[in-house]
Amino acid sequence: MSLVQPAAAPEAISPLREAWIVYRRNRPAMFGTLLLAVIVAFVLYGTFLYAGDPYEIVWAPQTPPGTEASVPLGTDYLGRDMLRGLLKGGGPTLSVGAAAAIITLLIGVSLGGIAGYFGGWLDDLLMRVTEFFQVLPALLFAMVVITLFSPSPITTAIAIGVVLWPQTARLTRAEFLKIRELEYVTAARSIGARNGRIMWRVILPNALPPLIVSATLTVGVAVLFQAGLSFLGLDDPNTMSWGLMIGTNRQYVLDAWWPVTLPGVAIFLTVFAVSLVGDGLNDAFNPKLRER
């Protein structure tokens, strides 16, 4: 017996809208959303306000931030403008992160969904494949993928996506296994829905909440992963990114802290904002927390 029956509201509140109402009240999540919006805005529009080639040597090497008006955030070991690098490098960093998360979602949801829905030998087979990918050392495997093809943001995104999908696949499978036993799935079959419709129109929308949360967190992981690859020099050196900035300046960190720290802070803030959003989504979609 439930303690208190909520009244049937007169207007139609969709579950998504209800989640948004809860999300809006969640202060950390709204802070994360705002922070992420600011970061994305800087990356998208910053280069218009502060244009310039990030590879161009503009001033004396290792000029500290705030000491020279023409390079407000200082310069790196070659004398390149840090602010130009941060603004220009944010685009590839964020888009590779987002693209990797989308690739992860595409592979993971289709394979996990098929495995969870059909079960049987297909499930066994797909899960063995998933486990195989999962036990491969992730970084090493990504390095192999990148070296096989030429380094470029697209290759990096694919490499990260190929490494990260098994988790999403397992999550999707677990959700599908759970939801396919519910009566509304049997009801869909009884009114003549075919497998495809049941999988993608009935089960998937109901499995979305944990998948959305996991996808947001994957964006954060992918950004970090990409930074790691750049740091190891495996990223395309002709595409500026935050990871690349850290990687190229790491030898001189004892002489100058800012060329490594500033992109590091940028990555930290991005991942922090994304995980606040992810946590907020998790709470918003979790019906147990909703009744507060």
CA-based nearest residue to 216, from 285, 153, 151? 285
Q: How many residues bind other proteins (CB under 8 A)?
A: 31
CB of 5 to other proteins, least distance (A): 5
- Residues 253 to 292 in contact with other proteins, rule: CB under 8 A: 291-292
Least distance in angstroms from the C-beta of 283 to other proteins: 15
Question: Within a 10 A sphere around the Cβ of 283, how many other Cβ atoms?
Answer: 20
Closer to other proteins by CB, 96 or 202: give it.
202
| Rounded distance between C-alpha atoms, residue 131 and residue 68, angstroms | 54
Nearer to other proteins, 45 or 184 (CB): 184
Identify the residue among 48, 183, 196, 254 touching other proteins (CB under 8 A): 183
20 binds other proteins (CB under 8 A): no
Using rule CB under 8 A, residue 122 touches other proteins: no
Residues 6+ apart with CB under 8 A from 261: none
Chosen residue from 70, 192, 254, 288 binding other proteins by CB under 8 A? 192
The answer to whether residue 196 forms part of the interface with other proteins (CB under 8 A) is no
Q: Which is nearer to other proteins, 194 or 250 (CB)?
A: 194
**Chosen residue from 182, 251, 255, 268 binding other proteins by CB under 8 A:** 182
Pick the closest to residue 132 from 171, 170, 91 (CA basis): 170
Q: Nearest-CA neighbor of 270 among 35, 101, 31? A: 35
Region of 58-66, 97-105, 160-168, 180-188 interacting with other proteins (CB under 8 A)? 180-188
CB of 194 to other proteins, least distance (A): 7
Contact 23, 281 (CB under 8 A): yes
- Using N-to-C axis directions, what is the helix angle for 138-148 and 204-231, rounded to 10°? 70
Among 143, 154, 193, 224, binds other proteins (CB under 8 A): 193
Q: Is 205 in the site for other proteins (CB under 8 A)?
A: yes
Q: Is 189 in the site for other proteins (CB under 8 A)?
A: yes
Q: What is the closest distance, in whole angstroms, from the C-beta atom of residue 137 to other proteins in the complex?
A: 29
Which residue in 46, 73, 41, 74 sits closest to 59, CA to CA?
74
Q: Does 150 bind other proteins (CB under 8 A)?
A: no
Residue 80 pairs in a beta bridge with 57
Q: Which of 24, 194, 250, 289 binds other proteins (CB under 8 A)?
A: 194
CB 138 within 8 A of CB 160: no
Stretch that binds other proteins, among 11-19, 170-178, 221-229, 278-286 (CB under 8 A): 11-19
| Token output for 89 | 């490098």
Rule CB under 8 A: is residue 61 a binding residue for other proteins?
no
Neighbours of 269 (CB within 10 A): 14
Q: Does residue 6 belong to the site contacting other proteins (CB under 8 A)?
A: yes
Listed in sequence order, the DSSP H helices in the chain are 15-25, 27-49, 82-118, 120-135, 138-148, 153-179, 183-190, 195-197, 204-231, 242-249, 258-285, 287-290
Q: DSSP readout, 217-265?
A: HHHHHHHHHHHHHHHTT-S-TTS--HHHHHHHHGGGTTT-SHHHHHHHH
The contact set with other proteins (CB under 8 A) reads 1-9, 12-15, 182-184, 186-194, 197, 202, 205-206, 291-292
